[in-house]
Amino acid sequence: MSRPGVGTVYRWEARKLVSQKRTYLGFALAAFVPLAFVVALGLENGSPENVPFGRYVRDSGLAIPLVGLVFGSVWFFPLIASLVAGDIVASEDQNGTLKTILTRSVGRGQVFAGKVLVAITYALLALLLYGTVGIVAGILASGYNPLVTLSGTVVQPDRALLLTFASFGVYLMPVIAIASIAVLLSTVTRNSAVAVVGTLMLALVMQLLAILPGLGGLQPYLLPDQFNAWQGLLRIPADLAPVGRAAWVSALYAVPSLLAAWIVFMRRDVAGG
Amino acid sequence: MTQAASHPVEARGLVKRYGDVVAVDDVDLTVRAGDVYGYLGPNGAGKTTSLRMLLGLIRPTGGEARLFGHDPLVEGARALDGVAGFVEAPRFYPYLSGRKNLELVHGYDGGGPRAKIDEVLDVVDLADRAKDKVGGYSHGMKQRLGIAGALLREPRLLLLDEPTTGLDPAGMRDMRTLVRRLADGGMTILLSSHLLAEVEELCDRVAIIRKGSIVFEGALADLRRSAAAAGWKLRSGDEERALAVCRAQPGIEEPRREGEEIRFTATESAVPELVVALVEAGAPVHSLAPEHVTLEALFFRLTEGDGTAAPAAVDGGAAPAPAEAQS
């Protein structure tokens, strides 16, 4: 019998998620939102002119997932990311099962690492689903056509598709930061609802701070700005500066959050349950 | 505490404070290999907190706990090798089946043959409900699943916290039978309980905890012996004179008059000297007999009121702290 590690925890955390109905709520939402957007486009004339790529949603299906990224940054992806991340430690507290797994042969650090990895995997899969459904639905609705970039040049559909997936990759960075904050709140508050709502509120407060007059200098260091970093990829030539900034600013939120959560998790008393 | 001579459980000076509240106060415990050790005390006395400290779930404010010589706080999960059990009610994932829950904890132990899961399900008589979700299990079934989860580790030491709480009489009987069977198989068991009858039935050594402090640790037989002769009752034709002699006599504790009797506590060796002193003082002795106190009454004396009935430490156990100092 070998000593289990992070991989064991990861596998079982994933199996636990698969066995819970609420796991599918996030996935269902991630699939539903782009579908609803495409259906709404079919029912109405016009297009969302004032968002990037909004004016092209009827010309190229590949514009539709990109518009989805813009809309998703306000509350949708913070919600999806925190849905599992905010629950992943707190639910063990509320269930009393933390003592069950911490009296086996896995260390606390391994349990924590496995949980964080699963929370990030969930956010990644939800984002992938959101993007894939958006791309497929968009292509079905508006065709697999060339896309006009933000710098006005036109790229062929194959390259546009590649850039769209790359954009989702960049988008994942602030999503991971949000998930990390949710893990911290989940660990500290030991309450799933508080962790999920708290993370969402924090994301909304950052949105508010980003638009408040006089706080413009703060904006590049807030997460909402990082949710738009992917737009740098959709310029010709590509502007990679916002992508680089998104990487370190997101890390600036994610790493201290996870570190603090890890310290709390390692030292805390498991007195409930 | 060297590892070569390490006992399954050794706790020294364990303290747990929550602000001003002292939940566990300087607790020493020694569970030897092969013991069925009862950890007895009323609800809220500090039993569960002690067990959580033993398992490394909560951090002691002071002192240390070792399992087979290993400190869970220092060595983490490795210190729990050969150890299994549960504190308070065993908890499982309600949305998973009993079998899946066992597979999960088995996986967290490093996995192994699946036949082992079937085996422990049979031991706790849950094989026919193994595919049902734990959310639909009764309290007794969850307790049995907890035992099954513990047995998967093939432990040398089993820690059970109130394993029969909430069970119906048949469930309690079955659980005790199971514990007895495991003990007969050579497993060391630390059984926390607030039920004296349960501890009497199952255990050979016992620690009694009151308000966070150990008031007795030793063999159950010694506790019984001290219960049998804890007090004495004297009938004399001259109660006033007899009471005065008792008060003056060394080794005679708390003499008091109750109706036509004088009651006191004393060691057996002090009683003959008292008789001589009574005769010399001219106080007639009509009868002098030990007051038979039941084990249950002694338990209540130890764990309630001022706890002044603490018997002497025996069997190499930790010296019981004076009961007056516990509260």
Report ipTM (2 d.p.). 0.89
Report CB contact under 8 Å: A12, B107. Answer: yes
Q: Does the bond joining A237 to the residue before it have cis omega, within 30 degrees of 0?
A: yes
User: Looking at chain A, which residue has its C-alpha nearest residue B61?
Assistant: A269
Given a contact cutoff of 8 angstroms between Cβ atoms, the answer to whether A131 and A168 are in contact is yes
Residues of chain A with pLDDT under 50: none
Given a contact cutoff of 8 angstroms between Cβ atoms, the answer to whether B36 and B203 are in contact is yes
- For residue B195, the model assigns a pLDDT of 86
Q: Enumerate the β-bridge partners of residue B287.
A: B235
Report CB contact under 8 Å: A101, B76. Answer: no
What is the value of pTM for the model shown?
A: 0.85
Residues of B with Cβ-Cβ distance to A15 under 8 angstroms: 100, 104
Given a contact cutoff of 8 angstroms between Cβ atoms, the answer to whether A66 and A234 are in contact is yes
- For residue B319, the model assigns a pLDDT of 35
**Chain A touched by B302 (CB under 8 Å):** no
What tokens appear for A199 in the block?
A: 């993370």
**Chain A touched by B238 (CB under 8 Å):** no
Residues of B with Cβ-Cβ distance to A267 under 8 angstroms: 59
Closest residue to A19, CB basis, from B90, B95, B107: B95
Taking CA atoms, A237 is separated from A241, A246, B16, B24, in Å, by 12, 18, 64, 68
Place of tokens 């408040």: A212
User: Looking at chain B, which residue has its C-alpha nearest residue A6?
Assistant: B108
Residues of B with Cβ-Cβ distance to A2 under 8 angstroms: 110-111
Closest residue to B108, CB basis, from A8, A267, A273: A8
CA distance B36 to chain A (A): 21
Sign of CA dihedral B180, B181, B184, B187: negative
- Cα separation, A68 vs A38, in Å, equals 10
CA distance A193 to chain B (A): 19
Place of tokens 């199971």: B178
Report CB contact under 8 Å: A270, B58. Answer: yes
CA distance B233 to chain A (A): 47
CA distance A229 to chain B (A): 40
- For residue B293, the model assigns a pLDDT of 67
**Chain A touched by B59 (CB under 8 Å):** yes
Residue B43 class from Cβ within 10 Å (0-12 exposed, 13-18 middle, 19+ buried)?
A: exposed
Place of tokens 């009694």: B208
- For residue B321, the model assigns a pLDDT of 34
User: Residues of chain A whose C-beta is under 8 A from some C-beta in B?
Assistant: 1-4, 8-9, 11-12, 15-16, 19-20, 95-97, 99-108, 267, 269-271, 273
Given a contact cutoff of 8 angstroms between Cβ atoms, the answer to whether B279 and B285 are in contact is yes
- Best mutation target, B14, B16, B47, B57, to test chain A (most A CBs within 10 A): B57
Closest residue to A105, CB basis, from B89, B108, B149: B108
What tokens appear for B169 in the block?
A: 């009489």
- For residue A244, the model assigns a pLDDT of 96
What one-character-per-residue DSSP string does A106-170 give?
S-HHHHHHHHHHHHHHHHHHHHHHHHHHHHHHHHHHH-S--EE-TTS-EE-HHHHHHHHHHHHHH
| pLDDT tens over chain B, length 327 residues | 444 468 999 999 999 999 999 999 999 999 999 999 999 988 888 999 999 999 999 999 999 999 999 999 999 999 999 999 989 889 999 999 999 999 999 999 988 888 999 999 998 889 999 999 999 999 889 999 999 999 999 999 999 998 888 788 888 888 889 889 899 999 999 999 988 888 888 899 999 999 999 988 999 888 877 666 568 889 998 899 999 999 999 888 889 998 889 999 887 788 899 999 999 999 999 999 887 667 777 777 777 755 554 454 433 333 333 333 332
Residues of A with Cβ-Cβ distance to B55 under 8 angstroms: 99, 103
Report CB contact under 8 Å: A105, B81. Answer: yes
User: Looking at chain B, which residue has its C-alpha nearest residue A270?
Assistant: B57
Number of Cβ pairs closer than 8 Å across A and B? 99
- For residue B228, the model assigns a pLDDT of 61
- Cα separation, B97 vs B130, in Å, equals 6
Report CB contact under 8 Å: A106, B105. Answer: no
Residues of B with Cβ-Cβ distance to A118 under 8 angstroms: none
Closest residue to A3, CB basis, from B57, B94, B110: B110
Closest residue to A102, CB basis, from B57, B78, B112: B57
- For residue A211, the model assigns a pLDDT of 82
User: Looking at chain A, which residue has its C-alpha nearest residue B50?
Assistant: A271
Given a contact cutoff of 8 angstroms between Cβ atoms, the answer to whether B275 and B288 are in contact is yes
Report CB contact under 8 Å: A97, B57. Answer: no
**Chain A touched by B93 (CB under 8 Å):** yes
